[in-house]
Chain A
Amino acid sequence: MYDFLETNSMYVVLFIVLIIWIGIFAYLKSMDKQIKNLENKE
């Protein structure tokens, strides 16, 4: 695995970008939930 990533560094970038995207998505998802809670409370 390590050797593979060492020779194909493009995949390292891919994983980094995917992790960022997953983070952003999770954040948006939780924000959606919080807003829904607030709307229900009103």
Chain B
Amino acid sequence: MNNIFKYSVFVIISLVIITGIVLPIPNIPALGDKARVLYFHVPMSWISVVAFVMSLWYAVRYLKTKEITYDIKSFSAAQLGFLFCVLATATGSLWAKFNWGSFWNWDPRQTSIFILLLIYGAYFALRSAIDAEEQRARLSSVYAIIAGITMPFFIFIMPRLVETLHPDPIINNSGKINMDTTMLIIFLTSLLGFTLLFLWVMNLKVRLELLKYRKSLKQA
């Protein structure tokens, strides 16, 4: 992670903020200016899913190699994923208050992010309940994998239960991209910028946890 990387993260996200707030957007029925939430809310939920998949990936790696660094990475990804998940839930429900009339109405999208929050919560509860380091790493990895494989079922279940009201301007039912070009460019830049930001913070978190771990080894 060199300085060029960090400053380019700064520049990209600053550009997204400036263009996202200032540039005019096409008039979308029932959304209006609130559509700008797309630039900031969607990257949050995207990152919370990416972080979950990363945590899962490192959990599998840990079980295969039994290297404690993989567990530290898995835990760090989960913690950051939880943070972004909370941000996505908060921004989403604030937007929902003004678009749907209530902060929380169990729309399928809200239900899915709620389940993701529950899984993260359960994962941390499990971790805090086990003292031995090696055992904690092993059991929480197993739990992350079990929780991870049941997540895809929601893709099949959710549409059966309720129709979603969530706007879907990126990919509509016919599978075509249906968004104004300027909006699409800003949106994709935003996804890129926030993903890079996540990778940077993840890098910091992992290094911090590794320092802590080495310190605890020295003291022992």
Residues of A within 8 A of B (CB): 10-11, 13-14, 17-18, 21, 25, 28-29, 31-32, 35, 38-39, 42
Q: How distant is B218 from chain A, measured CB to nearest CB, in Å? A: 9
Query: Is the beta-carbon distance between A35 and B211 smaller than 8 angstroms?
Result: yes
Is B188 among interface residues, defined by CB-CB distance under 8 A?
no
| A39-B211 contact given A10-B21, A14-B21, A32-B6, CB 8 Å threshold | yes
Query: Is the beta-carbon distance between B22 and A17 smaller than 8 angstroms?
Result: no
Contact residue range for chain B? 10 to 19
- Pick the contact of A18 from B1, B14, B204, B214 — CB < 8 Å? B14
Q: A29 vs B14: C-alpha distance in the bound complex, in angstroms?
A: 15
Q: A32 vs B39: C-alpha distance in the bound complex, in angstroms?
A: 27
- Pick the contact of B21 from A17, A28, A39 — CB < 8 Å? A17
Query: Is the beta-carbon distance between B214 and A29 smaller than 8 angstroms?
Result: no
Query: Is the beta-carbon distance between A25 and B204 smaller than 8 angstroms?
Result: no
Smallest CB gap from B203: residue in A: A32
- Pick the contact of B204 from A10, A13, A14, A31 — CB < 8 Å? A31
Residues of B within 8 A of A (CB): 1, 6, 9-10, 13-14, 17-18, 21-22, 200-201, 204, 207-208, 211, 214
Q: A17 vs B17: C-alpha distance in the bound complex, in angstroms?
A: 8
Q: How distant is B20 from chain A, measured CB to nearest CB, in Å? A: 9
Smallest CB gap from A14: residue in B: B21
Is chain B's binding surface mostly helix, strand, loop or mixed?
Answer: helix
Q: A19 vs B14: C-alpha distance in the bound complex, in angstroms?
A: 10
Q: How distant is B9 from chain A, measured CB to nearest CB, in Å? A: 8
Closest 10 CB pairs of A and B: A14-B21, A35-B207, A25-B10, A17-B17, A38-B211, A31-B204, A35-B208, A18-B17, A32-B204, A21-B17
- Chain B residues positioned under 8 Å from A11 (CB to CB): 22
Smallest CB gap from B17: residue in A: A17
| A29-B6 contact given A18-B14, A21-B13, A21-B14, CB 8 Å threshold | yes
Smallest CB gap from A26: residue in B: B10
Query: Is the beta-carbon distance between A28 and B207 smaller than 8 angstroms?
Result: no
- Chain B residues positioned under 8 Å from A17 (CB to CB): 17, 21
- Chain B residues positioned under 8 Å from A31 (CB to CB): 204
Most buried by A among B14, B18, B21: B21
Q: How distant is B46 from chain A, measured CB to nearest CB, in Å? A: 18
Q: A38 vs B204: C-alpha distance in the bound complex, in angstroms?
A: 12
Q: A8 vs B46: C-alpha distance in the bound complex, in angstroms?
A: 32
